[in-house]
Amino acid sequence: MRADSKIKTENSKLARLVPLLLDWFAQNARDLPWRRTQDPYAIWISEIMLQQTQVKTVIPFWERWMKELPTITAAAQAPSAKVHKLWEGLGYYTRVRNLQKAAQQIVESGKRKTENGDAVCRFPEKFDEVLALPGIGRYTAGAICSIAFNQPTPILDGNVIRVLTRIFGIAENPKEKLTNARLWELAEALVGRAALCPSRRDEAAATCHCSHLNQSLMELGALVCTPRQAQCEICPVNKLCVAFKENRTEELPNLGKREAATARRFIAFVIEQRGRFLVRQRPAGVVNAHLWEFPNTETASAKPDARAMFKELFGIAPADIQPLCTVKHSITRYRITVEAFAIPGAALPRKAGAFWKTPAQVRQLALAAAHKKLASAAAKSILFHR
């Protein structure tokens, strides 16, 4: 096919896709709490929480956050311990630290803009200003500007990549530079066309076509065009979809070979002394920075000697050491096993950076995911109730 004829065909396909996607979204959009607001702050929080995390997991976290910190100023001024606690369980804690940094920047720049020094905490509306905030990349800036301000800013995340590679039959790896640029172009062309779409008779005057078009791509990827067993029969765009027509749904997107998972093993010590537990806070600059945990150490051994490891860590052998529980979890490509041992009635010298806390105080801390499970195992264990 000649180049100009190919462009013509693609333009016509884009033009046909937009109303199909908008109609489908109007009838099938899930009622999510952040979809009931136009507040850019609330939408921003949802977008950050939704990175790497499923919608059903995010809902209670988002609701709790908005109740506790309903404004940008509240988020900027909250103690670090509070924002970490509100994020506890969501993982990828750099997100919450960047989020607070960005809120503080917005508050500061609001102060500079007023003569009397009263802060005007308005979330920026210009795409470049949103993009310049800590923790906000092209996808998130596009999502916020389109959803909150109905701007024709494209979005491209895992869901959108899947939908677009399938509809357009793109066989190259979406991570490759040229292919990625092409996908951004398609996403931009779609939302650009949505911006020009006239309102239909049944729509309210203030239609949000850019917002809805972008959300329709995300929603289609989440509900219909799923990674496995896409529901092509009920898909609103199946007549235009190359993957469906050519039976290539299973092979697209072509994500290349997955990096092999790496197993890591830790030995943790839940140490009790007169009804208090020894915990420490992870330092800045490491995974799960600022979160709390029970003392632990990594081991490469398949049969680690917990007693010897305890002695190496604390300089004395434990009088009593009992298996408590084993927790397994995954972070990115790491498959982590934490084997915990209970050390009841320990007589330990004070160790720098570690603190004795009552069970109630431990519950108030933002704990790393595996250590939250250790805390609840400790609370239930008869070893600490003898």
Cβ closest to ligand SF4, residue 158 vs residue 345: 158
SS3 354: strand
Give yes or no for residue 244 binding ligand SF4 (CB under 6 A): yes
CB of 164 to ligand SF4, least distance (A): 9
Give yes or no for residue 186 binding ligand SF4 (CB under 6 A): no
At 54, give phi and psi (nearest 5°): -75, 155
Cβ closest to ligand SF4, residue 231 vs residue 332: 231
Give yes or no for residue 166 binding ligand SF4 (CB under 6 A): yes
Give yes or no for residue 167 binding ligand SF4 (CB under 6 A): yes
Segments of 143-299 assigned E as strands: 262-273, 276-281, 292-293, 296-299
Q: Can you list the alpha helix ranges (DSSP code H) found in 29-122?
A: 40-50, 55-68, 72-77, 80-87, 94-113
CB of 169 to ligand SF4, least distance (A): 10
In angstroms, the CA 206 to CA 185 distance is: 26
In angstroms, the CA 248 to CA 99 distance is: 39
Cβ closest to ligand SF4, residue 166 vs residue 371: 166
**Residue in 148, 241, 270, 383 binding ligand SF4, rule: CB under 6 A:** 241
CB of 138 to ligand SF4, least distance (A): 23
Q: Within a 10 A sphere around the Cβ of 247, how many other Cβ atoms? A: 9
Exposed (0-12), middle (13-18) or buried (19+): which is 239, by Cβ within 10 Å?
exposed
Q: Please report how many Cα atoms fall inside a 13 Å half-sphere around the Cα of residue 50, on the Cβ side.
A: 22
Which positions from 246 through 265 interact with ligand SF4, judged by CB under 6 A? 249
Give yes or no for residue 163 binding ligand SF4 (CB under 6 A): yes
CB of 163 to ligand SF4, least distance (A): 5
- Which one is catalytic: 10, 47, 108, 246? 47
Residues that contact ligand SF4, how many (by CB under 6 A): 14
Q: Which residues pair with 337 in a beta bridge?
A: 265, 328
In angstroms, the CA 198 to CA 194 distance is: 9
Provide the residue type at 366 as one letter: A
Query: Does the N-terminal peptide bond of residue 253 adopt cis geometry, omega within 30 degrees of 0?
Result: yes
CB of 16 to ligand SF4, least distance (A): 13
SS3 282: coil
CB of 232 to ligand SF4, least distance (A): 3
Site string for ligand SF4, 197-236 (x = CB under 6 A): ---------------------------xx----x-x--x-
Q: Is 312 annotated in the active site?
A: no
Which positions from 365 through 384 interact with ligand SF4, judged by CB under 6 A? none
Q: Which residues bind ligand SF4 (CB under 6 A)?
A: 163, 166-167, 224-225, 230, 232, 235, 237-238, 241, 243-244, 249
User: Which residues belong to the active site?
Assistant: 47
